[in-house]
Amino acid sequence: MTELVIGTKKGLFLLQGDAASPGNEEFVITARAFAGQPVDYALRDPRSGRLFATATSPFYGPKLFYTDGDPSAGWEQAAGVELPAGGDQALERIWVIAPGEAPGTLYLGADPGVLLESHDDGASWEINQGLWNQPSRPEWQPGGGGLCLHSICTWPGDSQRLAVAISAAGIWLSDDGGTSWRRGNRGLNPRYLPEADIDPETSALCVHHVERSHARPERMFMQFHGGVYRSDDAGESWEAIGDGLPSDFGFPLKLDPADPDSAYVIPLVADMDRVTPDGRVRVYETRDGGASWSPRGDGLPTARAYLTVLRQAFTSKGSGARLELYFGATSGEVFGSGDAGASWATLATRLPPVFSVAAS
Amino acid sequence: MIELIAAFERANQDARGWILDERGLIRRHINVFVDGDRASEATAVAAGARVDVIPAITGG
């Protein structure tokens, strides 16, 4: 049984179904919470079983809530999810939560380009001072979604090595548990800038999503704002691998944890349109590190389907031939595959616009 | 006004950050009234005044 934790424009939805044969057995809605509120991101920490949801009330600002029990009942508000008081900025939106490598540790990425960390299973948080105090921070430029820290890549088995991505402040790497940070942007080509102005240290680099290979942690994959990239040196430098895709623009990206040569992307028409190309919904897969890409759309809409899939709305569970893949669209549909993308089924329709999908 | 709300949030930790943001400003879609009149951070609040804190009717 697979549980999907889905953040939408109108609250949190929990769905359950049989991943081995999605479509043969309907996924059902088992709980809803935060009705009417934008839930930007939600997940269940597999270590503690704790369920997290971020809600950005238009009235009260972004908050993080958690529960260890019935999600339809009470939630606790996490403490410390805020910027230092008395400055000239306020927390705008929480974009991602990621379990860390050390027991009880979690990381949280938010707008304006901030990383927070918790060492008590997410009950209380503090800002990462190393990133907050970066001297170049006043020059960081926001992307269309704000100055969002949306990707947090831990290193399997090593709590000291971290990578985070910020739109549009690029990739940041740490080898000392987040005490110090350096940029890792060599090789990225922001086609939206004049060539003469491109500088990996200062250019506005609109990274859309980054994932690290579990099987080979020095390998990373990136969906950029125009371009798909691979790094084989832990994010220090990047090589374009988008040839063969109908569009190298998109937001989410997932990997098969068992295969360091694998990646999945969902191309969208670049870059003022941002819908699935030709009215067809297709996931593209590589199994050779990006040398070639193959469409995986069996069971997905083939016509009159102009969907937008946001960066946190694509998730996976398991690995290898039983890799499960799930994504949701702003149209309110959720799709799933239980066989590494070979076949797909529609698991939900007419939900509110989907912001995030996590599987557990 | 701002001192009054900050003191309220300090005395009621569950309300911390729900009316004021980290800058110490009243959140954009929260409206504050003093004796029925729309107020701002700088509005003076006399002893015995009635202060209402009301979320705006916004959304989509």
Q: What pLDDT is recorded for position A144?
A: 85
Could you state, in chain order, the average pLDDT of each consecutive group of 10 residues for chain A (360 residues)?
96 90 76 96 97 93 97 94 95 98 98 98 98 96 92 98 96 98 94 83 91 98 96 97 96 97 96 92 98 96 97 97 96 96 94 98
* Strands of A2-8's sheet in order across: A28-33, A11-17, A2-8, A354-359
> pLDDT, tens digit, for every residue of B11-54?
999 999 999 999 999 998 999 999 999 999 999 999 999 999 99
Whether residues B23 and A59 touch (CB distance < 8 A) is answered with no
Whether residues B27 and A61 touch (CB distance < 8 A) is answered with yes
Whether residues B23 and A84 touch (CB distance < 8 A) is answered with no
CATH label of the domain that carries residue A21:
2.130.10.10
Give the start-to-end residue ranges of the domains of chain B: 2-55
Q: Which residues pair with A351 in a beta bridge?
A: none
A196: three-class secondary structure by DSSP:
helix
User: How many distinct structural domains can be found in chain A?
Assistant: 1
Q: What pLDDT is recorded for position A89?
A: 95
What is the C-alpha to C-alpha distance for residues A90 and A39, in angstroms, rounded to an integer? 19
- Residue A33 near residue A53, CB atoms below 8 Å: yes
pTM of structure: 0.95
Q: What b/e string do you get for A135-154 counting C-beta neighbours within 10 Å, with b at 16 or more?
A: eeeeebebbebbbbbbbbbb
Q: Following DSSP, what letter does each residue of A137-171 receive, concatenated?
A: GGG---BTTBSEEEEEEEETTEEEEEEEEEETBEE
Q: What pLDDT is recorded for position A164?
A: 98
Kindly tell me the burial class for residue A12, based on how many C-beta atoms sit within 10 Å of its own C-beta (0-12, 13-18, 19 or more). Answer: buried
Give the B window 1-60 contacts with A, CB below 8 Å: 14, 17-19, 21-25, 27, 29-30, 55-56, 58-59
- The residue of chain A with its CA nearest to that of B54 is A59
Q: What pLDDT is recorded for position A199?
A: 85
- Residue A283 near residue A266, CB atoms below 8 Å: yes
Print the domain residue range for A218: 2-359
Q: For residue A82, give the nearest of B22, B24, B59 by CB distance.
A: B22
